[in-house]
Amino acid sequence: MASAELLAWLAQSTFAGSIAVAAVLLARRPMRRLFGARVAYALWILVPLALLAVAMPAPDPTRHGPAVVKAVASLQMHAAGGGAAAGSAPLLWAWAAGVLASAALFGIAQRRFVRSLGPLRPRADGLHQAAGAHGLPAVIGLVRPRIVVPPDFASCYDDTERRLVRLHEQLHIRSGDLVANAAAIALRCLFWFNPLVHLAWRHFRHDQELACDQRVLERHPRKRRQYGAAMLKTQLAASPLPLACTWGYGHPLKERIAMLKQPLPSSRRRLAGATAACLLASTVAFASWAAQPSGGTTPVTTDVESRLLNPPSYPAHAVEQKIEGKVVLIVEVDASGKPRDVVVESAEPAGVFEEAAVEAVHKWLFNPATEDGRPVSSRVRVPVTFAMDPPEGQGAN
């Protein structure tokens, strides 16, 4: 991928991702009130869907009308030229440096947290007990997730609370929340310059915790009081972790505990919410795809008026001998649409029509090829047919 193409993709992805984030931030609270926390959390799929839509081939304007198809029907793109936009390399280096710096900062934060836990001691219940208590309970490890609890876990929580805490973290693992966090961190690194992406992170994690709370309550609807007590006892993390699902994470516990008092959404409401989320995701993804500039290179077309005003001259000796034929030319067309170089690729019969065809094409004007909306130089194959009695309305073409 050329540097200009990479910059164009980055700009389009930033725009599409920002629109998707804004849509989620606006819709998450109403969706949560209407359909529950799980549906609100599912809305965040809009962001990767919008980015994926931008990565798909752009709409092809040559397919949207017969007039364009007719104009290019006798022409074939042979090759395209054009260099990257001037000054794109420094911007790409700055972006890459930001990506690496962001990844390093997140890596350092993760490593510092893991070290602060001290040695992890396996427990009989399958959990791991840490020497430190900062940010625990939590589940860590992307490849081999482990549930880590503080050293006072047995004395601070009763049996029911311990089971609920364990279930909460297990549901994080089963729901793929660690993978989702890793993907979100990757997006924060790629789009480190976009403040909306970093704002979205906190709301994304908050919705993730609320969705996990709802899953726990769906399994134990009569243990809301014990679950709320476990929340209050939890040591809140002072700062978020890149690749972990901590029990508290610094979320406003008031909102999480308030949610415990609300009735759980019925399966019908959840289905309606999932349908609404799918419709919104499809709309945002399609809009992101349709709004991007036409990708690739659109082909050269001849200017019809200049072609009609400058038809090839039929050689006199060919008229006398009633010779017909065809010449195929390779034409170098610059970004302004003027032919710069015309080369004969083939001629039938040889030595009869080449000069007339080349002379005529040098007088034609072309609609230049475009690349990402910009005119570029290119080469095009032009067949020129010489016929004694062409059909009505056609001449040498």
Average pLDDT in the 262-266 region? Answer: 81
Tell me, yes or no, whether 221 and 339 share the same domain.
no
Number of domains making up the chain = 2
Tell me, yes or no, whether 251 and 314 share the same domain.
no
Is 156 a domain residue?
A: yes
Is 395 a domain residue?
A: no
Question: Above 50 in pLDDT, residue 272?
Answer: yes
Is 28 a domain residue?
A: yes
Average pLDDT, the chain: 81
Tell me the pTM. 0.65
Is 150 a domain residue?
A: yes
* Span 123-176, pLDDT tens digits: 998 999 999 877 788 899 888 999 999 998 988 899 999 999 999 999 999 999
Question: Above 80 in pLDDT, residue 290?
Answer: no
Average pLDDT in the 270-286 region? Answer: 81
List of residues 6+ apart from 106 with CB closer than 8 A: 185, 188, 189, 242, 243
Tell me, yes or no, whether 243 and 359 share the same domain.
no
Tell me, yes or no, whether 131 and 203 share the same domain.
yes
Choose between 173 and 379: higher pLDDT: 173
Nearest partner of 150 among 126, 124, 118, judged by Cα: 118
Is 357 a domain residue?
A: yes
Choose between 247 and 128: higher pLDDT: 128
Question: Above 70 in pLDDT, residue 294?
Answer: no
Nearest partner of 299 among 365, 362, 368, 345, judged by Cα: 368
Choose between 286 and 21: higher pLDDT: 21
Domain that holds residue 19: 3-291
pLDDT band at 244 (very low <50, low <70, confident <90, very high): low
Could you tell me the strand order of the sheet in which 146-149 lies? 121-122, 128-129, 146-149, 138-140, 244-246
Tell me, yes or no, whether 118 and 150 share the same domain.
yes
CB 241 within 8 A of CB 184: no
Last residue of some domain: 256, 291, 326?
Answer: 291
Tell me, yes or no, whether 224 and 280 share the same domain.
yes
* Span 329-348, pLDDT tens digits: 999 999 888 999 999 999 99
Choose between 287 and 76: higher pLDDT: 287
Last residue of some domain: 229, 264, 291?
Answer: 291
What is the reported pLDDT for 261?
75
Tell me, yes or no, whether 353 and 269 share the same domain.
no
Say which residue the tokens 């007990």 belong to: 129
Tell me, yes or no, whether 231 and 323 share the same domain.
no
Tell me, yes or no, whether 195 and 84 share the same domain.
yes
Which backbone phi and psi does 47 adopt, to 5 degrees? Answer: -65, -55
Nearest partner of 240 among 212, 210, 209, judged by Cα: 209
CA distance 1 to 22: 29
